[in-house]
Structure 1
Amino acid sequence: MEPDWQDRAFHHHIATLIDALDGPDFWTRTTRVIERFATFDNWVALVFIRGRAPLVCAESPMPDGTVDLLFRAYLEGMYQLDPFYINACERPRAGLVTLAEVAPDNFRMTDYYQRYFKSNIIGDEVQFNVPFDAQRTLIFSLGAKHHYTERDIAQFALFAPWVIALMRQRLAYESLIASDGVADVPQSEAVEPSALAALREADSAGRFEAVTQQNGRTPLTAREIEVVRQSLSGFSTRAIAERLEISFETVRAHKKHIYAKLGVSSQSELFALFYEPRAREGV
């Protein structure tokens, strides 16, 4: 069967991506090919690292050329509440991942959703994931102001095999391996050098320990920290009980003890304590 001109153009675009694999504009070119067939509003290529801040390979520029402060806040700590990050760390797999697949049952009720996701991503998100060792996953995220339709998801799924294949090949050209085993990133496309070391130390355990040590607070136990993290991520009390294999009432008791230890009375205060700099500095 004679291919039509659109098919020929598509194959040409894939060829240009293969040529761009070792170049600085690979990610930008990839988005340009995909956006010919599906509509999205922002994109980012990251390395998810279990227990550490994600590292930036490339990201879509702001329309006015300014720094995306919300995205910086994400890198500084809110990534810990990202359902895509949580899923990639807990169940790493290669392929297309949708928000509907990974979002906790109370995700849209969380402060993370209301204060970051709704403002920055706005509507929906999909990711192409490529785990490349036990700790790290290369991800390519496409965010939209609208909710993706079934047709959109089907289109992304259709593209997934070649996108994933190209991402695997791209790994050889990303500066991902440092001497300490932590991914490294070109400084021009990541955060400022002065912030990079801080981001690498901003794992969840360190963040929670630092906050609970302020003003002589009683430290949270490891189980209480896990309950806080899952609660702020959007897992309901029942879902947390199932995930931790404990009873519903035990989770409720943990939450009561957490609020008493930290001197907070709401989920929003809990979020502010751990993820809003002014709140952390002022306590």
Structure 2
Amino acid sequence: MEGDWQDRAFHHHIATLIDALDGPDFWTRLTRVIERFVAFDNWVALVFVRDRAPLVCAESPTPDGAVDLLFRAYLDGMYQLDPFYINACERPRAGLVTLAEVAPDNFRITDYYQRYFKSNIIGDEVQFNLPFEIGRTLIFSLGARRHYAERDIAQFALFAPWVVALMRQRLAYESLAQSAIDSALAGRDATPEQEALSEAGFASRFEAVTQQSGRTPLTAREIEVVRLSLSGFSTRAIAERLDISFETVRAHKKHIYAKLGVSSQSELFALFYEPMGAVGSIGSIGHAGG
């Protein structure tokens, strides 16, 4: 049976993508094919690295060509609260991943959501994931100002096999030795302390900040409670995840607040994620990736 012109055009675009696998515009061409079927507003290709800042493969340009400060704040450390990053590190799998699948129960009331995700992506996000070695996942993220409809998600799922297959072939042409710090701090001066915090894993970051501020260090379990809490897990969800009682989680939170001299989630977020820059003052629309 002869396909219609749309089918022919689609196959032609796939062919051009295969031809572009080793070229600098591969990711841009990939977005152009997908946006013919589903509208989105920003995109980014990253490598998630366990306990390290993501590596940037390619990113959508800002409308005015300026440095996207909000995306830089993400690379500086807020990626640690990104539900997609957490999921890729804890449960790596190839294929389509949606925000609805990975977002914790309290995600939309977190400071991370209100001060980064809502300003940067606004509505929704999906990612095509490809784990390729222990602790590393190549991701292609598409963010939208609106919520993706059921039909959009179905279209992404239909595309996932060939998108992931092309990502697997693309890996050979990515320069993954690039330091994420160079990307994150491009265009602004950074102190050695800022660079160290950007590259630090979650526990290392917390230890460094508490040492600098002269506060009482947190235990490993307390750090895990903070990470889950700031990521959007409710007290009950944290208890289930860590296999401890609801009251034990509440006790941990009480000790954490007392040790750090804070009285709210917002103060806790500010303590660990605002030393890198004035996150709260950033409001540009930028890239997906969290």
TM-score range, shorter chain: over 0.9
- Taking structure 1 as reference, are residues 112 and 190 closer, same or farther at Cα in structure 2, changes over 3 Å only? closer
- Taking structure 1 as reference, are residues 19 and 190 closer, same or farther at Cα in structure 2, changes over 3 Å only? farther
Partner SS, residue 9 of structure 1:
helix
Deviation larger for 69-78 or 186-195? 186-195
Equivalent residues of 1:46, 1:55 under 8 A apart: yes
Counterpart of 1:181?
none
Counterpart of 2:285?
none
- Taking structure 1 as reference, are residues 254 and 107 closer, same or farther at Cα in structure 2, changes over 3 Å only? same
Alpha-carbon distance in 1 for matches of 2:84, 2:108: 14
Count matched residues. Answer: 274
Q: Deviations over 1:133-186 (max 9, x none)?
A: 11100000000000000000000001101000000000000012x4xxxxx369
How far is the alpha carbon of 1:207 from its aligned partner?
1.2
Alignment of 1:178-217 (within 5 A): 178=177, 184=178, 191-192=185-186, 198=196, 201-217=199-215
Equivalent residues of 1:70, 1:116 under 8 A apart: yes
- Taking structure 1 as reference, are residues 14 and 187 closer, same or farther at Cα in structure 2, changes over 3 Å only? farther
How far is the alpha carbon of 1:214 from its aligned partner?
3.0
Alpha-carbon distance in 2 for matches of 1:188, 1:10: 37
| 1:60 equivalenced with 2:53 (yes/no) | no
Letter in 2 for 1:219: P
- Taking structure 1 as reference, are residues 276 and 214 closer, same or farther at Cα in structure 2, changes over 3 Å only? same
Counterpart of 1:230?
228
Alpha-carbon distance in 2 for matches of 1:36, 1:155: 11
Alpha-carbon distance in 2 for matches of 1:64, 1:148: 26
Partner SS, residue 277 of structure 1:
coil
| 1:272 equivalenced with 2:270 (yes/no) | yes
Alpha-carbon distance in 1 for matches of 2:238, 2:184: 34
Alpha-carbon distance in 2 for matches of 1:249, 1:132: 40
Counterpart of 2:93?
93
Counterpart of 2:288?
none
- Taking structure 1 as reference, are residues 20 and 149 closer, same or farther at Cα in structure 2, changes over 3 Å only? same
Equivalent residues of 1:57, 1:190 under 8 A apart: no
How far is the alpha carbon of 1:277 from its aligned partner?
2.0
- Taking structure 1 as reference, are residues 115 and 252 closer, same or farther at Cα in structure 2, changes over 3 Å only? same
Letter in 1 for 2:31: T
Counterpart of 2:115?
115
| 1:75 equivalenced with 2:59 (yes/no) | no
| 1:37 equivalenced with 2:37 (yes/no) | yes
How far is the alpha carbon of 1:202 from its aligned partner?
2.5
Q: Deviations over 1:44-68 (max 9, x none)?
A: 0000000111010000000000011
Counterpart of 2:51?
51
RMSD: 2.0
TM-score (norm 1): 0.92
Partner SS, residue 266 of structure 2:
helix
Counterpart of 1:243?
241
| 1:137 equivalenced with 2:137 (yes/no) | yes
Partner SS, residue 56 of structure 2:
strand
Counterpart of 2:152?
152
| 1:124 equivalenced with 2:118 (yes/no) | no
Q: Deviations over 1:216-271 (max 9, x none)?
A: 31110000000000000000001111111111110000000000000000000000
Q: Deviations over 1:190-217 (max 9, x none)?
A: 6539769646632212210012113431
- Taking structure 1 as reference, are residues 203 and 188 closer, same or farther at Cα in structure 2, changes over 3 Å only? closer
TM-score (norm 2): 0.90
Alpha-carbon distance in 2 for matches of 1:14, 1:190: 32
- Taking structure 1 as reference, are residues 189 and 223 closer, same or farther at Cα in structure 2, changes over 3 Å only? closer
Partner SS, residue 143 of structure 2:
strand
Amino-acid identity (%): 85
- Taking structure 1 as reference, are residues 202 and 94 closer, same or farther at Cα in structure 2, changes over 3 Å only? same
| 1:5 equivalenced with 2:11 (yes/no) | no
Letter in 2 for 1:229: R
Equivalent residues of 1:55, 1:190 under 8 A apart: no
Letter in 2 for 1:171: L
Letter in 1 for 2:129: N
Equivalent residues of 1:53, 1:199 under 8 A apart: no
Counterpart of 2:170?
170
Which fold has the larger relative contact order, with Cα–Cα distance below 8 Å and residues 6 or more apart in sequence? 2
Alpha-carbon distance in 2 for matches of 1:55, 1:209: 23
- Taking structure 1 as reference, are residues 192 and 240 closer, same or farther at Cα in structure 2, changes over 3 Å only? same
How far is the alpha carbon of 1:16 from its aligned partner?
0.3
